[in-house]
């Protein structure tokens, strides 16, 4: 079983809609959780991190963490064509071990 699982997509949403990206993880000892965005041919860039159960909002982005169910989600409100990218979920199991999902491809249709 992979440490981190994501639906590879592709996920398509119309411009202005809410995009919902999901991630599950296997290690209950996981401590911190991250969402990265990666444009084609570029390196991953951090969008958000979350450590505690519940929601964390940053602009149009909301990360949600449910440790009991072992899932993390990312909501993108008012989706824009510039949000079209692959979104990577990452989990920190211990201080030095970060595990990444394979990513979900998002396309925002104008």
Partner 1 sequence: DAGITQSPRHKVTETGTPVTLRCHQTENHRYMYWYRQDPGHGLRLIHYSYGVKDTDKGEVSDGYSVSRSKTEDFLLTLESATSSQTSVYFCAIGGGTGGNTIYFGEGSWLTVV
* Site of interaction with partner 1 (CB under 8 A): 4, 31-32, 34, 42-46, 49, 51, 88, 90, 92, 94-98, 100-103
Does a cis peptide bond (omega within 30 degrees of 0) precede residue 10?
yes
Our CB check for partner 1 shows the closer of 18 and 66 to be: 66
Q: Minimum distance between the CB of residue 8 and partner 1, rounded to whole angstroms?
A: 8
Distance CA 77, CA 73 (A): 13
Distance CA 64, CA 66 (A): 7
Q: Minimum distance between the CB of residue 80 and partner 1, rounded to whole angstroms?
A: 23
- Residue 33: other Cβ atoms inside 10 A: 25
How large is the greatest C-alpha to C-alpha distance in the chain, in angstroms?
41
Our CB check for partner 1 shows the closer of 18 and 46 to be: 46
Our CB check for partner 1 shows the closer of 42 and 77 to be: 42
Q: Minimum distance between the CB of residue 45 and partner 1, rounded to whole angstroms?
A: 7
């Amino acid at each position: 079983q992979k440490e981190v699982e994501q639906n590879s997509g592709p996920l398509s949403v119309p411009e202005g809609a809410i995009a919902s990206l999901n991630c599950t993880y296997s290690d209950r000892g996981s401590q911190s959780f991250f969402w990265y965005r990666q444009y084609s041919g570029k390196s991953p860039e951090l969008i958000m991190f979350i450590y505690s159960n519940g929601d964390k909002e940053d602009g149009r982005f909301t990360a949600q963490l449910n440790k009991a169910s072992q899932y993390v989600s990312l909501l993108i409100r008012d989706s824009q064509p510039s949000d079209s990218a692959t979104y990577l979920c990452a989990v920190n199991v211990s201080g030095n071990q970060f595990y990444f999902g394979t990513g979900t491809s998002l396309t925002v249709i104008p």
